[in-house]
Structure 1
Amino acid sequence: MKKIKTALLSYGMSGRVFHAPFLELHAGFELIGSWERSKKLIQNDYPQVKSYDSLEELLADDIDLVIVNTPVETHYEYAKKALLAGKHALVEKAFTTTAAEAEELLAIAKEKNLKLTVYQNRRWDSDFKTVKQVVDQGLLGDIVEAEFHFDRYNPNLSPKMHKETANAGAGIIKDLGPHLIDQALYLFGYPDAVFADIRTLREGSLVDDYMDILLYYPDKRVRLKAGFFVREAISAYAVHGKKGSFLKSRGDIQEDVLKTGEKPNLTTWGTEPQDKAGLLHTEINGEVVRKTIPTLQGNYYDLFDGLYISITQDKEEPVTAKDGIRTMRIIDAAVASSEQKRSIDLKE
């Protein structure tokens, strides 16, 4: 099996939790090392790998794939350097700070014949996979309305300074926004227009921390919300069709389990508690039914497996750069909409 030699651009929470465990699990990847600016931690967990002192040192090494898991405002610069050095790139969300930056990265990847993927791991969450299955199976009929939430109760500012310092990559619209937007586009396609209300509600915050985005489609209305003052959360996913509704709480366990240091596997991983099952209330074969739907397993391994196939077999990436560009266009439009207090028409 061909090995994809892979390097991380940081080994903080993202590298330790979301990337290294799956690179270790997948037989097709070989973790070569990580760029570490101050704390040298990766060799405590993976003694055989390298700790690079600079990006230039990392890019000069025998690396096939670079994972850009640094603060959002650096994504464009670092991904561009990786691509120009002839490396495939997996870029964390938000892909870039603007759609224009994302489009330039895609142009470079095409010119260099390299794979460029966006780490939209929430497509492989157990809760969203279940929502997608219900919609794809037509259990609700034609969809007329959907509302996705990424709600939390945490009025305190993050200790991660890059998240709370005013910069082009900070704020909830670039943090949680890409998750919700990507899921909506993956499920429903690209909308005609966007209206958004983006605010700063936490005391002392320098960045936006509340978002309410409406995506306009000819036949449906999709609302995306995220904020830090929701102590009692409602359904994370509410999808309504002409036959019925499906309600699902946010129940994916992967992030919480990974943070404990538990390693992923290919069998029992990503299994939600049964009491998190979603509620289906619809009409099937002329009969009204109201029942819970078993939740599918989530597994971020599938994103890495898709990327491995993409690189080794020259197939389409599991999340394409074009997907990332569309998400960034929605974000750009949402910011403009909130500033101008009007809807923004979209063009592909």
Structure 2
Amino acid sequence: MRKIKTALLSYGMSGKVFHAPFLSDHPGFELLGSWERSHKHIHADYPETKSYATPEALLEDHPDLVVVNTPVATHFEYAKKMLLAGKHVLVEKSFTATVAEAKELQLIAKEKGLKLAVFHNRRWDSDFLTVKDVVSKNMLGDIVEAEFHFDRYNPTLSPKLHKETVNSGSGVLKDLGSHLIDQALFLFGMPNAVFSDIRITRPKSLVDDCFDLLLYYENLRVRLKAGFFVREMVPSFVVHGKNGSFLKPRGDVQEEDLKLGKHVSARDWGTEPRSKEGLLHTEFDGKIIREFLPTLHGNYYDFFAALYESITEDKPEPVTAQDGVNVMIIIEAAIKSSETGAIVNV
């Protein structure tokens, strides 16, 4: 099996939790190491890896793939640097800070014949996979309304300064919001227009931490919402069709299991507790159904498996640069809508 030599640009929470475990487990990737600015941790977790002092030192080991998992405001700078160095690139969400940056990266990758993927891993969450399955099997009939939430109760500011200082990549819309937008676009495609209300609700917060976003389709409305003052959770996925409804709480366990150090090849990987099953109430095949639906297994490994095939077999990236561009188009339209109080065509 061909080995894809891979390096990370950060070994904080993103590198340690979401990338390194899968890159080290997949037999097609060789994890070279990570650029680490202050704390040096990767070698302790993966003794065969290196801690690089600079991106230039990282490039001296000739990686095939570089994961740009630095703060959002720096994604464009580092992704462009790696693409111009002839490397395939995986960029954390959100893809960039602006549509213009996203399109420039897309153009460079195309001109140089390189793979450029965006890490919208939440497509492989167990809860979303189950929602997707219900919709794709037409269990609800024609969809008329959907509402996706990524809510938390966390009134305190993050200790990560780049998340709480005003910069081109900060704020919940470009953080959790990018996941919700990508999921909506993956299911329903690009909308015709956007309306949004983006706010600051936490004391002393300088960046947006609450948004309500409405996507307008010809015969469908999709509402996306996130906030930090939700102590009692509502269903994170609500989908209504002409034949019925599906209500699903957020239940994917992968992030928490990764934080606890659970191995990604565990037999029960990505298995939600049954208490998180979604409620399906619909008419399907001539029968009225009201029951809790078993949840599909989530697995971020599938993203990396598809990324490997993208590089080695020239298949499409699991989340393409165009997907990333589309998310940025919605984010920019949402910001404009919130500033003007008007519906913005996209």
Pairwise TM-score range, normalised by the shorter structure: over 0.9
Query: Within 1, Cα distance between the matches of 2:235 and 2:23?
Result: 33
Matched to 2:276, the amino acid is K
Query: Within 1, Cα distance between the matches of 2:105 and 2:256?
Result: 32
Which residue of structure 1 aligns with residue 14 of structure 2?
Answer: 14
Does residue 162 (structure 1) correspond to residue 147 (structure 2)? The answer is: no
1:162-198 deviation line (CA, Å, top 9, x unaligned): 1000100000011101100000000000000000000
Which residue of structure 2 aligns with residue 217 of structure 1?
Answer: 217
CA offset at residue 57 of structure 1?
Answer: 1.3
Query: Within 2, Cα distance between the matches of 1:17 and 1:99?
Result: 28
Matched to 1:284, the amino acid is F
Query: Within 2, Cα distance between the matches of 1:315 and 1:266?
Result: 28
Q: Which runs of 5+ in 1 are unaligned?
A: none
Query: Within 1, Cα distance between the matches of 2:23 and 2:75?
Result: 21
1:74-114 deviation line (CA, Å, top 9, x unaligned): 00000000000000000000000001100000000001100
4+ runs deviating over 2 angstroms: none
SS at match of 1:173: coil
CA offset at residue 35 of structure 1?
Answer: 0.2
Query: Within 2, Cα distance between the matches of 1:157 and 1:62?
Result: 39
Query: Within 1, Cα distance between the matches of 2:9 and 2:247?
Result: 38
Q: Which runs of 5+ in 2 are unaligned?
A: none
CA offset at residue 31 of structure 1?
Answer: 0.1
Query: Within 2, Cα distance between the matches of 1:220 and 1:130?
Result: 20
CA offset at residue 287 of structure 1?
Answer: 2.0
Which residue of structure 2 aligns with residue 177 of structure 1?
Answer: 177
Query: Within 2, Cα distance between the matches of 1:182 and 1:241?
Result: 21
1:208-244 deviation line (CA, Å, top 9, x unaligned): 0001000000010000000000000100000000000
CA offset at residue 62 of structure 1?
Answer: 1.5
Matched to 1:321, the amino acid is A
Which residue of structure 2 aligns with residue 45 of structure 1?
Answer: 45
Which residue of structure 2 aligns with residue 35 of structure 1?
Answer: 35
SS at match of 1:32: strand
Which residue of structure 2 aligns with residue 285 of structure 1?
Answer: 285
Query: Within 2, Cα distance between the matches of 1:231 and 1:270?
Result: 25
Alignment of 1:247-262 (within 5 A): 247-262=247-262
Does residue 335 (structure 1) correspond to residue 316 (structure 2)? The answer is: no
Query: Within 2, Cα distance between the matches of 1:124 and 1:45?
Result: 25
SS at match of 2:153: coil
SS at match of 1:295: coil
SS at match of 1:151: coil
Query: Within 2, Cα distance between the matches of 1:282 and 1:166?
Result: 46
CA offset at residue 290 of structure 1?
Answer: 0.2
CA offset at residue 268 of structure 1?
Answer: 2.0
Query: Within 1, Cα distance between the matches of 2:162 and 2:59?
Result: 24
Which residue of structure 1 aligns with residue 64 of structure 2?
Answer: 64
Which residue of structure 1 aligns with residue 308 of structure 2?
Answer: 308
Instruction: Normalising by structure 2, report the TM-score.
Output: 0.99
CA offset at residue 59 of structure 1?
Answer: 2.0
Query: Within 1, Cα distance between the matches of 2:124 and 2:222?
Result: 20
CA offset at residue 286 of structure 1?
Answer: 2.2
SS at match of 1:228: coil
Which residue of structure 1 aligns with residue 124 of structure 2?
Answer: 124
Which residue of structure 1 aligns with residue 201 of structure 2?
Answer: 201
1:267-312 deviation line (CA, Å, top 9, x unaligned): 4210000111100000022221100110000000000000000000
Matched to 1:42, the amino acid is I
Instruction: Normalising by structure 1, report the TM-score.
Output: 0.99
CA offset at residue 261 of structure 1?
Answer: 1.1
Query: Within 1, Cα distance between the matches of 2:285 and 2:124?
Result: 30
Deviates more, 1:282-291 or 1:246-255: 282-291
SS at match of 2:150: strand
CA offset at residue 266 of structure 1?
Answer: 6.4
| CA RMSD between the two structures | 0.7
Matched to 1:161, the amino acid is L
Matched to 2:287, the amino acid is E
Query: Within 1, Cα distance between the matches of 2:116 and 2:287?
Result: 47
Query: Within 2, Cα distance between the matches of 1:149 and 1:62?
Result: 41
Query: Within 2, Cα distance between the matches of 1:187 and 1:270?
Result: 21
Query: Within 2, Cα distance between the matches of 1:107 and 1:312?
Result: 21
1:29-51 deviation line (CA, Å, top 9, x unaligned): 00001000111110110111111
Query: Within 2, Cα distance between the matches of 1:195 and 1:84?
Result: 37
Which residue of structure 1 aligns with residue 146 of structure 2?
Answer: 146
Matched to 1:125, the amino acid is D
* Count of aligned residue pairs for this structure pair: 346
Query: Within 2, Cα distance between the matches of 1:50 and 1:272?
Result: 35
Matched to 2:54, the amino acid is S
Query: Within 2, Cα distance between the matches of 1:59 and 1:221?
Result: 46
Matched to 1:206, the amino acid is L
